[in-house]
Chains A and B, each alone.
Chain A
Amino acid sequence: MQSMEFPLVVFTVLSQAAIGLTMMRAVRTVSGTPDTDARKEWLMIAGLMALGLLGSLFHLGHPTGAPRALVHLGTAWLSREVLFAGLFMGVAAIAVLSAGVAAKSAPAWIGAALGLGLISSAGMTYAPPALPALNNALPAAFFLTSAVILGAGFGGWFASPERQPLMARIFTSALVVGLVLYLIAPCVWASGGTVMRMTGEAWFASGFYWAHIGILAACLAVIWKTKSIPVWLPFLALAGELIGRAGFFADTLHTAINMGGLY
């Protein structure tokens, strides 16, 4: 087991919740009249993102150097991730401050586009060749799924009654996609190279993995039973994503652990 990277767990999951909320807000602007309480929703988006960014600083040996992480945009996906995170935070802050504009669709669409940029660049950052199981599109897919699950879950708090079924449908679909992705990925790794197979075995042997799967399944069962998103359910989904992300960092094996062994 490698490091759980708690600050990165907090940053990635909270920022994806903020992005998901923004995406759901954008979706609701094209499905009828906009919901009220835009300011509260943007406050939550900005708050989640700010908390995530604050959490990410604890990952750095020298947090005061964080602004310098923007200097290598040419090849470093981490620099691009920091840029998108900063721009997204800026849009969220502007949307909170300009309540009149915030109720319109433009900030939501701009935020959603920047959020997708952040998810893509984060996906590339955590897909290095040293982690063969994740050296592909899976990190971006995992992150997008988390964003939609949490966005639709918490989006239920802000959606008007007529849009609740829309949020419930998106939430359900994202849970199903998440479950399928997380169940299939380690099975596929089992047929890959040595380190990929070891990663699959580590995931299947991990409490993080099964707790995450269990919580996704429990969320699905609740929504199947209630046909709506209870107010408390997004918290359960958030706990599941935090646990699953801890496993993502802790249980994915690095090529260096098998040096001298077969590749």
Chain B
Amino acid sequence: MKKQYAFLVDTELCIGCFTCAMACRNYYHQVEGVVWRQVYPLSEEIYPHRERAFLSLSCNHCENPECLNVCPVNAYTKREEDGVVVHHQEKCIGCGNCIRSCPYGAPKYNPEEKRAEKCSLCHERLDADLKPACVQACPTKALQLIDLATKQQTNQIQYPAGYPKMERLNPSTRFILPKMPKMVRR
């Protein structure tokens, strides 16, 4: 398998502090209303406990990205060296087809630029041997950068409840599920 960088979300460690989302925002200074990384609380139907669980999500840098396939102007590329899906905003004509098509809602419309934009997995930081801003900022190490080609753990899953299952796209993000709290009977 070729190198494929991916986010590993350890929902057992994630405390829902939004630091990852804030770090991304501080690093890229997105305009009002544009968020590349979002923290979604798991529905009570999935995790019905007082201590909540969260999915921290941005672009999944899919193996077969829908955004790349549907873009009419070739504004997306997937880097050979690490599998990062890059949006080239200078090529984008703002048709919104990627926004409508990505099942994970990763591309967003920038109303000032009148073009789409999305998480770049901080590829410029990766090229400088730095971690992505969100990973570096996570206080509990719940968000990590992994290479799917080399790091496989048996407790990682690809499609947890609360996350759309899209096998054709093969999204790269991996999750460690939250453990169920111990039930204490009196």
Contacts and interface: CB of A to CB of B under 8 A. Distances in A.
A binds B: yes
Interface stretch (B22-30, B40-48, B121-129, B142-150): B40-48
B57 interface: yes
B69 A69 contact: no
B95 to A, nearest CB: 6
B40 A259 contact: yes
B74 A130 contact: no
Nearest to B70: A76
Given A62-B114, A261-B45, A129 B95 contact: no
Nearest to B94: A61
Contact of A130 (B100, B113, B162): B100
B162 A262 contact: yes
Contacts, number: 116
Interface of A: 59-63, 65-66, 68-72, 75-79, 82, 125-126, 128-131, 254-256, 259-263
20 contacts: A60-B94, A61-B92, A61-B93, A65-B93, A68-B72, A69-B72, A72-B71, A76-B70, A76-B71, A78-B70, A78-B72, A78-B97, A79-B72, A125-B97, A126-B100, A128-B100, A256-B104, A260-B43, A260-B46, A261-B45
Is chain A's interface secondary structure helix, strand, loop, or mixed overall? loop
Interface size class of B (residues with CB under 8 A): 35 or more
Contact of A263 (B66, B96, B101, B162): B162
Interface of B: 38, 40-43, 45-46, 54-55, 57, 66, 68-74, 91-97, 100-105, 109, 113-115, 161-166, 168-169
Q: Which of A68, A72, A130, A262 has the most CB of B within 10 A?
A: A130
Given A61-B94, A254-B105, A260 B164 contact: no
A129 B115 contact: no
B72 A130 contact: no
Is chain B's interface secondary structure helix, strand, loop, or mixed overall? loop
Contacts of B100: 126, 128, 130-131, 254
Contacts of B96: 59
Nearest to A56: B95
Contact of A75 (B43, B70, B93): B70
A259 B162 contact: yes
B73 A255 contact: no
Contacts of B72: 68-72, 76, 78-79, 82
B162 to A, nearest CB: 5
Contacts of A261: 43, 45-46, 162
Contacts of A68: 72-73, 91, 93
Query: Can you list the 4 inter-chain pairs with the closest CB atoms, starting with the nearest?
Result: A61-B94, A256-B105, A61-B114, A260-B40
Q: Which of B94, B113, B166 has the most CB of A within 10 A?
A: B94
Contacts of A128: 66, 70, 100-101, 103
Contacts of B69: 75-76
Contacts of B113: 61
Given A129-B101, A130-B103, A259 B70 contact: no
A65 B73 contact: yes
